[in-house]
Amino acid sequence: GNSVTQMEGPVTLSEEAFLTINCTYTATGYPSLFWYVQYPGEGLQLLLKATKADDKGSNKGFEATYRKETTSFHLEKGSVQVSDSAVYFCALSDHRGGNKLVFGAGTILRVKS
């Protein structure tokens, strides 16, 4: 079945540091890939997505590129802010699976000023 593996956290960075959160996936078909973010006490918000190989999703300074050859969708940001502190979830969906989202375990990001 489909699965997503994310790097374990928590990840603690100083403000303006470079961020990478690794995400790899296993899928039988050609899934769409997503990053969702959950701020403390809130629901999930879509951060970015990519629907086919070599697509790059970007939003709020975050980027991720759909790499079919390495089955990866790593999240990057050049300069993090304290307000980026949250839990980040990598996820995939495949229409053959009824469009359900399969999530990674989530990575807690803490940014210190």
Partner 1 sequence: DTAVSQTPKYLVTQMGNDKSIKCEQNLGHDTMYWYKQDSKKFLKIMFSYNNKELIINETVPNRFSPKSPDKAHLNLHINSLELGDSAVYFCASSQAQGAPDTQYFGPGTRLTVL
Summarize as ranges the residues that interact with partner 1 (CB under 8 A): 31-32, 34, 36, 38, 42-46, 49, 51, 87, 89, 93-95, 97-103, 105-106, 108
- Write down the least CB distance from residue 96 to partner 1, Å: 10
Query: With helix as H, strand as E and coil as C, how does 18-81 read?
Result: CEEECEEEECCCCCEEEEEEECCCCCEEEEEEECCCCCEEEECCEEEECECCCCECCEEECCCC
Q: Which is nearer to partner 1, 29 or 78 (CB)?
A: 29
Closer residue to partner 1 (CB): 18 or 39? 39
Map tokens 């890939």 to a residue: 33
- Is residue 21 within 8 Å of residue 109, measured between CB atoms? yes
- Helix, strand, or coil here: 104? coil
CB of 89 to partner 1, least distance (A): 7
Cβ-based nearer residue to partner 1, 24 or 38: 38
Q: How far is the CB of 79 from partner 1 (least distance, A)?
A: 26
Residue length, the chain? Answer: 113
Cα angle 73, 78, 84 (rounded to 5 degrees) comes to: 85
Please identify, using beta-carbon distances, which residue of 16 and 42 lies nearer to partner 1. Answer: 42
Q: How far is the CB of 16 from partner 1 (least distance, A)?
A: 26
